């Protein structure tokens, strides 16, 4: 490969990406430094980047005075249960599609886009009506159920891509050795797609952790509310303290970013690989 050192295109690439990177990470950094500033300092000097005195006051307020530990717990429970159920259901479905309904596997992306088309604001009205009828309003169980609506289609789509890479010869040898379908699936296939399974689970977790609309409209008591909505309600406080707001936002954003960085290689390829049509 020829190495071009000072081509105008290369220069442009560096300049563009530098500006882009700064624009991309600045809000994260600003959020973090703001979370460690005292409110006096934030208001006195709105453009100073680093705090003069780093303080944990905002985090203390959010966690203990505003009781965010409860909301963190709720979000964790809802997101973890959603992840466990959605990943299991989707792994079975993705494998079933690949092995028994290959034609369906070929139109997965179109199916995914179709489910994307259903606006959540449309879905939430029937959800609310049904939840009321089966007495699941204002419950985390109901919320987990509803979260299946967006996590399962995406997880199936992702997993179909991963299962496609499993060579069928391995399964056939397992079958010859006398293992039944389910044993072949759990003992032979699943270990092979473990990295894909982990990425999918993480992605489902992030989406459930970040979800806002359903939690806002289906959960009414603050003791059962998830973190995203709890952060939003801070805005309704008499005096909006941006320091606490940024500390609360940091608590939402950090798990998401850490997990995302762990799986960024896996989610990137999806559309570019064979999983397209």
Partner 1 sequence: MDSNKRLKRSAGGIGGSNTTRWFFVLPAMAIVICLLIYPLLSTLVYSFTNKTMTKTTFKVIGLANYINVLKDPAFFAAFGHSLLWTAGSVLGQVIVGFVGALSLNRIKNKKVQNLFRICAIIPWAFPAIATAMVWKWMLNGIYGFIPTALMNLGITGDMPQFLSTSRLAMPTLILINIWFGAPMILVNVFAALQTIPQDQYEAAQIDGATGRQSFVYITAPHIRTVVGLLVVLRTVWVFNNFDMIYMITAGGPAGASSTMPLYIYDTGWTGMMVGKASAASMLLLMFLILLCILYFLVIRRWEKEE
- What's the min distance (Å) between Cβ of 70 and partner 1? 17
Residue 122 touches partner 1, criterion: CB under 8 A: yes
CA atoms of 230 and 224, how far apart (whole Å): 10
Which of the stretches 1-9, 50-58, 61-69, 194-202 binds partner 1 when contact is defined by CB under 8 A?
A: 1-9
Helix, strand, coil percent values for the chain (each to nearest 5)? 80, 0, 20
Q: 164: helix, coil or strand?
A: coil
Which of the stretches 54-62, 76-84, 150-158, 187-195 binds partner 1 when contact is defined by CB under 8 A?
A: 150-158
**Which one among 131, 144, 152, 193 touches partner 1, defined by CB under 8 A?**
152
Toward partner 1, which CB reaches closer, 77 or 259? 259
Residue 237 touches partner 1, criterion: CB under 8 A: no
Number of residues engaging partner 1 in binding (CB under 8 A): 100
Non-local CB neighbours of 42 within 8 Å, separated by 6+ positions: 34, 242, 243
Where in 183-212 is the site for partner 1 (CB under 8 A)? 185, 206, 209-210, 212
Residue 135 touches partner 1, criterion: CB under 8 A: no
Residue 217 touches partner 1, criterion: CB under 8 A: yes
Which of the stretches 50-58, 64-72, 76-84, 102-110 binds partner 1 when contact is defined by CB under 8 A?
A: 102-110
Q: Which residue has the tokens 């705090």?
A: 51
CA atoms of 84 and 87, how far apart (whole Å): 5
Q: Which residue has the tokens 């088309």?
A: 117
Q: Which residue has the tokens 């780093």?
A: 54
Residue 247 touches partner 1, criterion: CB under 8 A: no
**Which one among 143, 189, 201, 245 touches partner 1, defined by CB under 8 A?**
245
Residue 123 touches partner 1, criterion: CB under 8 A: yes
- What's the min distance (Å) between Cβ of 54 and partner 1? 18
Give strand ranges (E) for the chain: none
What is the four-CA torsion angle of 11, 15, 18, 22, rounded to 10 degrees? 180
Q: What single string gives the DSSP state of each residue in 26-74? A: HHHHHHHHHHTS-HHHHHH-TT--S-SS---HHHHIIIIIS-HHHHHHH
**Which one among 121, 135, 191, 221 touches partner 1, defined by CB under 8 A?**
121
**Which one among 67, 69, 223, 264 touches partner 1, defined by CB under 8 A?**
264
Where in 34-93 is the site for partner 1 (CB under 8 A)? 34, 42-43, 46-47, 89-90, 92-93
CA atoms of 214 and 228, how far apart (whole Å): 11
């Amino acid at each position: 490969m020829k190495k071009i050192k000072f081509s105008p295109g290369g220069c442009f690439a560096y300049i563009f990406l530098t500006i882009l990177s700064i624009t991309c990470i600045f809000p994260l950094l600003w959020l973090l430094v703001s979370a460690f500033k005292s409110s006096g300092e934030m208001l006195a000097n709105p453009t100073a980047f680093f705090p003069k005195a780093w303080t944990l006051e905002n985090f203390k307020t959010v966690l203990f005075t505003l009781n965010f530990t409860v909301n963190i717990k709720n979000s964790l429970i809802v997101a973890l249960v959603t992840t466990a159920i959605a990943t299991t259901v989707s792994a079975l479905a993705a494998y079933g599609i690949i092995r028994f309904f290959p034609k369906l596997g070929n139109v997965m992306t179109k199916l995914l886009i179709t489910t994307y088309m259903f606006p959540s604001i449309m879905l939430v009205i029937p959800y609310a009506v049904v939840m009321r009828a089966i007495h699941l309003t204002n419950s985390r169980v109901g919320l987990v159920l509803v979260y299946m609506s967006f996590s399962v289609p995406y997880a199936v789509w992702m997993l179909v891509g991963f299962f496609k890479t499993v060579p069928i010869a391995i399964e056939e040898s397992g079958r010859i050795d006398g293992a039944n379908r389910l044993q072949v699936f759990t003992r032979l296939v699943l270990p092979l797609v473990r990295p894909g399974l982990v990425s999918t689970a993480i992605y489902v977790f992030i989406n459930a952790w970040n979800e806002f609309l359903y939690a806002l409209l289906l959960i009414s008591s603050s003791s059962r509310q998830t973190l995203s909505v709890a952060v939003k309600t801070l805005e309704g406080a008499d005096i909006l303290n941006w320091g606490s707001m940024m500390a609360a936002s940091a608590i939402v954003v950090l798990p998401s970013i850490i997990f995302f960085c762990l799986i960024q290689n896996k989610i990137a390829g999806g559309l570019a690989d064979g999983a397209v049509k």
